[in-house]
Structure 1
Amino acid sequence: MKRRLSRDDSSLRSPKRIWQSKTNNVCMAHPLAVVMRQYGLLETIVSNLRANDLFALALSSKALYKTIITTSSSLENLLGRVKCSGRGVDIRNKCHMKSAFFYSYNCTEHVHCGSDTSHQQIESRPCVSCKITTCNECRIHCVYQSIYEAPGDPDDAAELPNFSGFVLLQSAEQPILSPHHLVSENPSATPRWGNPAEGQNRPYHDQGYLDVPLEMGASAPPECIEDLLDLDLGCHSLISMSGDSRYAAPSPVLSSLYQVTEERKIEVCDSCTGHGATREVLVRQSSGATRLPTNKISGQTVAKPTNTCHCTLRERILDRWLCLKCYLAEESAIKAQARKQKSDSEGFCRCGELARHVLCLWCLGKVSEGKNVQLT
């Protein structure tokens, strides 16, 4: 006679009931996991988080981890929707050093992450390297305008405010002149610059005219930032901008930018020339070569590198939306390659052969201008 199963025994022997019970328990224990399985809701939730919060949420349970980090493309999409972390502002505060003039005059500083600013609309995009959302204040700029000095006499309409900032992540504060500061310019063509801390004005990054660092004690004419950004560095060096023999070459105004543009140049032999060959040599000699700048501009990959370098500061710094953390990693990799070529080995390739070409580490194209002596 067949034994009749009790209700408890029947539930224990039913795989379907066991699976349903476990699923219900997971849903009760992690209701957020159920909500976040709907990708539209997940994107909405993520838009209010920062990258660190997203990773912490993913590591809180296996269910959330599988939901958030399903594929690399899914994670990349979510990282592009989070709020800017503000890490770039922290890096700037560590690198930039305000001059003594900041404390002696009526100056204010404006360095705020877009996620922490409500009265201004600050653009944010995914970093081309790490893919994490980065605001315009936390990404790299050639000239970052952050300091404003109010006019001494607010009742005098002819008196202009003063502006200053920093080149890349250099420590020295440099004056930035607006078009209205120069007699040679047509002031009516552009509106007067105002206080960036006020809602109707934005910081004047990569605009105007760059002057000598405030505490350098040297003299030189100001340089147009637009001209610096668009100079073809494959054919010209920033040293060519110093056309007046009365001043040092390179100009004290350009010393920081000059150092960066010269460090990107390496000397190679015939066998190590070429995009694939050069990259292979660099990777073999230094693990840091993997952090060299990518051929990505505005998030899109360049199809094929050219044989001749035509890099500009605008293309490599501004058009590539790069967070400051990734910029520091790239600069560290380039400096590591520059240190491999010591002063007593100039004229020779990394492999020991006689160097016949100068290549750009930004694009791995040939530099026709040549390699100049590095600043100390």
Structure 2
Amino acid sequence: MRIRLIAALLVTPLAALTLTAPTALAASPNPDLTVTAARIPRTTPVLVSSLNTVPVTVEVDAKYAWADADPNTTLFGILHRSGGVGPLTYLITPPLKRYEGTTQDGKWRGVVNVPSTANGTFELTGIMVGQYWPGSGDMTDPTPVPGTPPKLTVVGSNLPKITARVLPDPVPYGANYSIRWSVINGSTGKPYGSRLKVWLANDNGCVEQFGGPAYLTDTNGYLTKAYPADYGNFLNCLQLPGNPAPIGALGLFVNRPKRAVVVSATPSKTSAPVGSIVPVNGTVSGAPGNCPVNLQRLYGATAWRTVGTANVRQSGRYTVNAQPAYKGNIPYRVSFPRCGNYLAGVSKTFTIKGI
């Protein structure tokens, strides 16, 4: 089974990828796995700088009762941030290997490779069967660690800072583009002084898999990559290699030229009894699917107030419902607020007569 990694992104075009712990596809822990104890023998803070990692031993006592369990079954642990501030919200161990007992009742040991980007306090909160990536996990939620989870304190320094410049900006639809990526020392603002290995990916490669394609920056920390036009429709990212997961990442959606829209609106009836529903149908040019439209009614001489909302369908069409509130001619319009790369627009005013 392949364990999914969900990357939570900010809504801005350029955003640090917040690498979050694996989200399992099931709703409960593996019924065959029981964790009886977990330990992080190290009690002193981990001091780690720049792109380095420090291996820290992790030990787990567990019982894996699956009848067909392999004698070489491995486990992996998940450590969640519980304090401090840093780019990473979780740490994952490489495979923990059994060093004592049996798979059905044994002790496993391995390391967690701690990067400077952890920089804070982490707790070993859960254990899963298999290895993290590429995975052979069991499609369940992590099995909780009993009692108080073991803690690990990380003091990171000279953390990497990742930036990106897209050319051209904005990228015209259908045009090729390039991204000039940069990785420097965030504390000094200067390059690390050597060529750095990075992973560049696109679309699902940014959130569901690790390990490449691999590239090298120059000694100033720069790397320029050309992208075909269709890549501009998806997430682009740079990841800093780690084992088994990246130690940092930056993702972006390229800016696009803003698109003006034309909004049409036609009521299904021009008169209707007070309080009845009158569907209003229309289109928004460019078909900005899932963007909202607001039905607005004129109050007084100049005040337009929203009285109904709907989403534009993938076809570009929409339907909102008007409801005449009084007898007489009532002015309406449909407003399209700015959405993504689509600029705001408004339909012509139309009238529904309440009778």
The reply to whether TM is greater than 0.5 is no
More helix by share: 1
- TM superposition score category, shorter chain reference: under 0.3
- TM-score w.r.t. length of structure 1: 0.20
- Which structure shows the higher strand fraction? 2
> TM-score, normalised to structure 2's length?
0.21
